[in-house]
Structure 1
Amino acid sequence: MTSKLAALMANLEATFGTDVRMTHAFGQITAVVHANQYLDVMRTLRDEASLCFEQLIDLCGVDYSVYDEVAKRELIVAQDESMCPRFAAVSHLLSITHNWRLRVKVFAPNNELPVLPSVIDIWSSADWYEREAFDLFGLVFDGHPDLRRLLTDYGFIGHPFRKDFPISGYVEMRYDPEQQRVIYQPVTIEPREIIPRVIREEGYAGLKPNRPN
């Protein structure tokens, strides 16, 4: 750990004590925060002079549903230790004053309806980031003034970055010349072969291997 990161870690520990779990990996510190402390911690990260994270430069969603549960428990701090939370919001903060960065991770306490507080009143740049996480992962940010889809179509069903979302989606859109409008219908795309030809077994799917003459 560099001296700058050591100074940041010391300031974080002095400010939050054991309320926030800090880890260090790949040259960056990650703070894991309880959902019910999320807003207070984020506001302190911005306003505390020894930290002074003036900018939120990124926020995204993560779906941990396919992670090994033992590995997840080593990464997270859950309010209910009997449950492995599935969804998290991960933010990247920048301090221009101190020239350092911090990653903040918070897990939604409910897997069925993942709701987290919006940080838009702390950093206005969170606006489209939270909309994107809502659109792609289904994370709901309580307090966001305009939480609607950002990247997918208006009639899109589901959240395409969730690990259980089918590759082909659920519906497709096309123009119907008889109705003279755009319509939605069940997906008609045939599942495509995604195993590269160069690594397929001989006789794969009844096909004869290509051999040079």
Structure 2
Amino acid sequence: MVNFLQRFLVFLNIYSIFADGYSFNNDEHTENIHPFIKIGSKYYFINELLKMNWFESYNYCRSYGGELASVESHEELLALQNYILARKIESRFWFDGNDLAEEGKFVSHTTGRPLIFNKWSQNNPNNVNNEDCLEVNLYNKELLMNDINCNVENIAICKYREPNTHCSGKNSLMNQNEVCILRNLVESFAQVGHRCKSCSQAFMFPTS
């Protein structure tokens, strides 16, 4: 069992070297995602010349490997606000969210879950004229959310779709992040260690 632990530690050391290289390459890749650019801590794509309804916007973002934008904090919304103000884009923008399934309950179309963060404009959402889709708009230079009819034509804010980090044995090694790789390695070695209890150490790990 001592030999097993020694080999396990050596293997983890080799893994750490691999993981560092993998992380570097992955970061290098995300710094060069086209046409997405970094705005705040996330990557977005805004085609200022194209206006579409909400459904077309959703498909448009998906065609570029993204989703309609969503934000998880005030900081993310503020980053988008500052970008739009700096670009002087005078328009309304589609966001990921609707209450098509149940009136008044806005959920992310991407995840099917309630919105993580929202900042509604005054007296909204109000469902005037059957408003079921989520847009953001500048009100006195502040980016706020509003419900609006899904067939209105707005500019889409697309957000880069993060790689799937779900740990699965079906995924190739390079499609898993460091946490998944390490978790799978630990689980594999734990299984091997468990099997060692029913066999001789000399048989499993010869010393000569």
TM-score, normalised by the number of residues in structure 2: 0.26
Specify which structure has the higher proportion of strand: 1
Specify which structure has the higher proportion of helix: 2
Tell me: higher relative CO, structure 1 or 2? Use CA pairs within 8 A at least 6 residues apart: 2
TM-score, normalised by the number of residues in structure 1: 0.25
Larger CA Rg, structure 1 vs 2: 2
